[in-house]
């Protein structure tokens, strides 16, 4: 608490937990990045291990992250892999 005269102010510091995962691979085009978080969104980039894809994974992760007031970001260039970052707000200490 900070007191100035007869007014009290509570100082709140907003901090974030940040988690990043980078992978080599085909990367994502601009068009793919525009639809990658949609349900059943099929992208031009295919899984590199030949595994099946339903188009639900990233949409589910995005909903969970948003439910925790966080952000899900993707940095990628075609042919250079991708890095996904999740940022979640950390509770301010009392």
**CATH no. for residue 58?**
3.30.565.10
Q: Does the residue 53 lie in any domain?
A: yes
C-beta separation of 36 from 27 below 8 A: no
Q: Does the residue 9 lie in any domain?
A: no
Domain that holds residue 79: 15-90
- The structural domain count of the chain equals 1
CA torsion, ordered 71, 77, 78, 84, to nearest 10 deg: -30
Q: Does the residue 4 lie in any domain?
A: no
Report the pLDDT value the prediction gives residue 94, as an integer from 0 to 100. 47
Report the pLDDT value the prediction gives residue 15, as an integer from 0 to 100. 86
When pLDDT is averaged across residues 12-18 and rounded to a whole number, the result is 77
End-to-end CA distance of the chain: 10
pLDDT > 50? residue 91: yes
* 1 or 19, higher pLDDT: 19
């Amino acid at each position: 608490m900070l007191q100035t005269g007869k007014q009290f102010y509570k100082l709140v510091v907003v901090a974030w937990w940040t988690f990043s995962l980078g992978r080599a691979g085909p990367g994502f085009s601009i068009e793919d990045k525009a639809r990658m978080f949609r349900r059943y969104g099929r992208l031009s980039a295919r899984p590199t291990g030949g595994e099946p894809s339903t188009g639900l994974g990233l949409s589910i992760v995005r909903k969970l992250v948003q439910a925790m007031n966080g952000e899900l970001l993707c940095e990628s260039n075609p042919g250079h892999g991708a890095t996904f970052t999740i940022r979640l707000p950390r509770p301010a200490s009392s």
